[in-house]
Amino acid sequence: MSGAQPRYLAWLFALAFMVAGCTPSVAPDRSTGVTQVAGPDAPPTASAPATPSAAVEIPTPVTSPPEPPPPPPVPQPFAFNLYQEGDFVPQYTFDWCVAASIQMAHNLIDDTGGGSWTDAGHQGELWEMARARSSNSFNGANPLGWAQVLTESGMGPYNVVSVPGYDDALRTAARAIADTGRPVGLVMWSGRHAWVMSGFESVGDPAQFPEFTVTGVRVLDPLYPHGSVKWGSSPVPNSLLKPEELATQFVVREPRRWSSDLQTGYLLVLPAAL
């Protein structure tokens, strides 16, 4: 028995050592109260999730407000005049107003200064030409013959037009002068006389403003300086008449046998585009 006891004690000591080697060491987690296993086979301690990085902000492009449209153009004073010294020609008889107006139209168009038509004999020839092309029951020259002689004489196409309204008639005449660079014939005294419109003044350029306003009319009356007891005095050549002044002699022309196809209105011998 005495030999077995030491062996028994040695066996117990060995057993205790083995148990101690197989028992993992533990340590309490003081922050949570949970015992953390620190043995070699313990799972790794989970790390705190990574804080996501802040999103990169892309700056929004700054757009400027659209430019406001430019203000519409405002009509400005405008003037156009073909007249030069020497363009005026008087009528050499009380009948030859159409022929004298044809001579003045030529002079206004020909700005070289060397081709003036002023001769009295030539004026008589033009009168006969206009009469022959007028078919006038009064044996005179009418606006149709006037327009035809202007065209045949190389001054470009001319037509007779009737415009019902006075303001429209002035705009029509002014626009034709500005567009063609040629004068307009005005049928005066309700069809009994001929003047030449050589220019105008307005508020607004006809090329920009269709509804421009004519404020003045440049005229040549071949009867100057005589005038008429009924219709009034003849203006000085190249006079600038206000519309209301012109209206005392430039009046509506009613249709006659030679112009029965034209409506009642203000008659113009109007240049057409070439």
Q: What is the pLDDT of residue 25?
A: 44
Q: Residue 196: beta bridge partners?
A: 185, 220
Q: What is the pLDDT of residue 16?
A: 42
Highest mean pLDDT among 36-40, 50-54, 262-266: 262-266
Q: What is the pLDDT of residue 136?
A: 67
DSSP string, 116-136: ----HHHHHHHHHHHHHTT--
In this prediction, residue 20 has a pLDDT band, given cuts at 50, 70 and 90, of very low
Average the pLDDT over each of 2-11, 96-105, 179-188 and give the range with the smallest value: 2-11
Average the pLDDT over each of 38-47, 98-107, 179-188, 262-271 and give the range with the smallest value: 38-47
Percent of the chain past pLDDT 90, that is, above it, reads 64
Q: What is the pLDDT of residue 42?
A: 47
pLDDT at 24 over 50: no
Helices 120-132 and 143-152 cross at an angle (nearest 10°) of 120
pLDDT at 17 over 80: no
| C-beta of residue 268 within 8 angstroms of C-beta of residue 185 | yes
| C-beta of residue 27 within 8 angstroms of C-beta of residue 38 | yes
Q: What is the pLDDT of residue 51?
A: 56
In this prediction, residue 105 has a pLDDT band, given cuts at 50, 70 and 90, of very high
Q: Which residue has the tokens 């005095």?
A: 233
Q: What is the pLDDT of residue 155?
A: 96
Q: How would you classify the pairing of strands 193-203 and 77-81?
A: antiparallel
Structural domains in the chain plus CATH codes = 77-271 (3.90.70)
CB count within 10 Å of CB 111 equals 11
170: exposed, middle or buried (C-beta count within 10 Å: 0-12, 13-18, 19+)? buried
Dihedral Cα 21, 22, 27, 33, nearest 10 deg? -160
Q: What is the pLDDT of residue 22?
A: 41
**Using CA atoms, how far apart are residues 263 and 274, in angstroms rounded to an integer?**
25
Residue 250: closest CA among 206, 187, 170? 187
Residue-wise pLDDT tens digits, 197-242: 999 999 999 999 999 999 999 999 999 999 999 999 999 999 999 9
In this prediction, residue 81 has a pLDDT band, given cuts at 50, 70 and 90, of very high
More confident residue, 88 or 47: 88
CB count within 10 Å of CB 33 equals 7
pTM comes to: 0.75
Average the pLDDT over each of 9-18, 46-55, 101-110 and give the range with the smallest value: 9-18
